[in-house]
Homo-oligomer: A and B are copies of this chain.
Amino acid sequence: MTTSAAPLTGVIPPVCTPMTPDYEVDVASMVRLVDHLVGGGVDALFVLGSSSEVAYLTDAQRRTVLDTVVGHVAGQVPVLAGVIDMTTPRVLEHARVAIEAGAAGLVATAPFYTRTHPDEIRTHFRTLAARTGLPVYAYDLPVSVHTKLSADLLLELAAEGVLAGVKDSSGDDGGLRAVILGRRPPFSVLTGSEVTVDSALWMGADGVVPGLGNVDPHGYVELYRCAARGDWQAARAEQERLARLFGIVHVGGARMGGSSSGLGAFKAALHLRGVIDCPVTALPQIPLNEDEIGRIGKLLAGAGLL
């Protein structure tokens, strides 16, 4: 259990995984995306998260992503790795690969697919921490894993030194505050909600993991810097601009799943902005059509990004 390092802070985008038209990892685009993000001033990168389409990547593709990003970043910023799988033994396998690739920390959800008791979730995170030696961040994502990590559970594991932080994508800002008020440093509280970053920072969160940060890293960096220097009015104005831009994730509407709509929008925007070569998303996601991509273009233009 290693939580001795400085806590993670700032803007840590979950890096999209650009693909070629035949669904392979597009390494050249991936490198350009990393440059776009690091050049935008982000504080760390998070690969193999939900916004990275981790659920759709084969193990070989996951390794390509890790090697590409860790290799290209070359220590400029820390690279966290998602180790997303159903249970402890499978997560440990991903952790082994991430450690070999040089990840600076691991991000893991509660078990899913199985019906899991809170005591089993505790065992899960304790085992990960004990066996990996890397900082472990809990990824609270009930929309995907159908379990909410309670503030009590997180604080207990934080106090034990099992968890180095939490990425809270639950949308439950009451729970987020309970963790913020109850934790003792170093324990990083990161929000995954793109549209309430100013208020999360206001409450005392340490940083943000915004999927939309792929599209506009400068915006999130500016928002974070405004907050850090106490200029909350400017932070809010920047957040409101980004909240409007976040409308791109709804363009796909009811004719596709939320994953297709959100991840497709990020990739379409990155394509329109010239960062990646191809906006394709992995199977079985439904692609955005021309009209929908056109509406994304308008939202980008409205946010000053085209």
The answer to whether B171 and A120 touch across the interface, beta carbons within 8 angstroms, is: no
Known contacts A23-B89, A115-B143, A284-B87; is-contact A173 B193 (Cβ 8 Å):
yes
B-side contacts of A113, CB under 8 Å: 55, 84, 112, 144-145
Query: In chain A, residues 107-140, which have Cβ atoms closer than 8 Å to a Cβ of chain B?
Result: 111-117, 119-121, 123-124, 127
Which residue on chain B has the smallest CB distance to residue A236? B202
Main secondary structure of the interface of A (DSSP, over half): helix
Which residue on chain B has the smallest CB distance to residue A57? B89
Any B CB within 8 A of the CB of A64: no
16 new A-B contacts at CB < 8 Å, known A88-B283, A111-B284, A119-B256: A55-B86, A55-B87, A57-B89, A87-B282, A112-B113, A115-B258, A120-B260, A120-B284, A121-B284, A171-B172, A173-B196, A174-B193, A178-B243, A199-B199, A202-B202, A203-B236
10 cross-chain pairs, A with B, having the tightest CB-CB distances, nearest first: A199-B199, A115-B258, A123-B284, A117-B257, A55-B86, A114-B259, A88-B283, A124-B284, A120-B284, A173-B173
Known contacts A93-B58, A120-B286, A174-B195; is-contact A257 B87 (Cβ 8 Å):
no
B-side contacts of A124, CB under 8 Å: 283-284
Size band of the interface chain A makes with B: 35 or more
When the two chains form the complex, which single residue of B121, B199, B240 contacts A173, counting CB atoms closer than 8 Å? B199
The answer to whether A181 and B116 touch across the interface, beta carbons within 8 angstroms, is: no
* CB of A248, distance to nearest CB on chain B (Å): 13
B-side contacts of A178, CB under 8 Å: 195, 243
The complex places the Cα of A303 from the Cα of B202 at a distance, in Å, of 22
Query: Mask for A20-53, Cβ within 8 A of B = 1, else 0?
Result: 0001000000000000000000000000000000
The answer to whether A89 and B257 touch across the interface, beta carbons within 8 angstroms, is: no
Copies of this chain, complex-wide, total 4
The complex places the Cα of A196 from the Cα of B196 at a distance, in Å, of 12
A residues with CB within 8 A of B: 23, 55-59, 61, 84, 86-90, 92-93, 111-117, 119-121, 123-124, 127, 143-146, 171-174, 177-178, 181, 193-196, 198-200, 202-203, 232, 236, 240, 243-244, 255-260, 282-286
* CB of A175, distance to nearest CB on chain B (Å): 8
B-side contacts of A116, CB under 8 Å: 257, 259, 284
The answer to whether B283 and A127 touch across the interface, beta carbons within 8 angstroms, is: yes
B-side contacts of A121, CB under 8 Å: 284
The answer to whether B202 and A120 touch across the interface, beta carbons within 8 angstroms, is: no
Known contacts A115-B143, A202-B202, A203-B199; is-contact A58 B243 (Cβ 8 Å):
no
Known contacts A172-B171, A173-B196, A198-B202; is-contact A58 B120 (Cβ 8 Å):
no
Which residue on chain B has the smallest CB distance to residue A88? B283
The complex places the Cα of A258 from the Cα of B282 at a distance, in Å, of 32
